[in-house]
Amino acid sequence: MPEDSVDLIVTSPPYDRIRNYNGFDFDLHATGQEVYRILKNGGIAAMVIQDQTKNFGKTLTSFRTILDWCDNIGFKLFECVIYRKHGSEGAWWNQRFRVDHEYMPIFLKGEKPLYFDKEPLKIPSKHGGKIMSGSGNRRTDGKTNSTVRRSINEKKCRGTIWNYLMAGDKNPLKRQHPAPFPDKIPYDFIQCFCPEDGIVLDPFMGCGSTAVTAKTLKRHYIGFEISETYCKLAEERIRIDASQELLFTL
């Protein structure tokens, strides 16, 4: 692929061998180098990743990857948001905490994002439309600013905790893959970081969620998948699901 040709990458690599991916393996560092090369200046790479637990300790794959891609490849960490979900107790249900999150580091190539629009990501304000007093923030010198009265907007920035509690996508096609993520994840990233004529890429396409949502949102897409079985699954999803309106319940 040519350098500086892709606007946005949304992916979840098969980290830590947590699932059976038909025996395929990969190199996260080498992946990062290629991702950096093909992204446009100002392009974004968003990743869904977690850590395996071995002998009561985390592998730290997520943190090592963030440091490697920033220190050794050249990315900035634009932000790391938390994908909040309903975790399962797992085999160690009485020996550990239930894991209700995954990490979604957002990597930036260049000085600032080429495209950024968080309006579609905003969520309803609890007190939207009311007039309230507040904003008495503590200053660095220890004093407190005076409170002010202001109108509360109907919607607000969702912040860095992104809830996908009801976005499990009970899709029989998706369930043929061992580790799909909610279609709402690429849907949100694409709306926020990719212009309408932009190109979205997923180097580990799996069941095709990134491609389906890119096509639904009228963006161009490229997907790589080394497993022939999952290639066929993704093609089937693109054929069937991308022609339908995506409805999400949050």
Residue % of the chain over a pLDDT of 90:
54
Q: What is the pLDDT of residue 167?
A: 52
CATH code linked to domain 6-122+157-243: 3.40.50.150
Centre a 10 Å sphere on the Cβ of residue 126 and count the other Cβ atoms it contains: 8
CA dist., res. 81 & res. 72, Å (int): 22
- Range name among 7-16, 145-154, 229-238 with the lowest pLDDT average: 145-154
- State phi, psi for 99 to the nearest 5 degrees: -95, 110
- pLDDT surpasses 70 at 17: no
Measure the CA–CA gap between 72 and 66, rounded to whole angstroms.
10
pLDDT: which is higher, 148 or 177: 148
Which residues lie below 8 Å from residue 113, measured CB to CB, with a gap of 6+?
A: 42, 44, 78, 193
**pLDDT category of residue 145 using cuts at 50, 70 and 90:** confident
pTM reported for the whole predicted model: 0.84
d(CA 29, CA 20): 21
Q: Where are the domains of the chain?
A: 6-122+157-243, 124-156
Percent of the chain topping pLDDT 70 = 83
Position 249 scores a pLDDT of 43
pLDDT at 219 over 70: yes
- Is residue 71 over pLDDT 50? yes
For the segment 108-127, the average pLDDT, to the nearest whole number, is: 94
Contact 194, 200 (CB under 8 A): yes
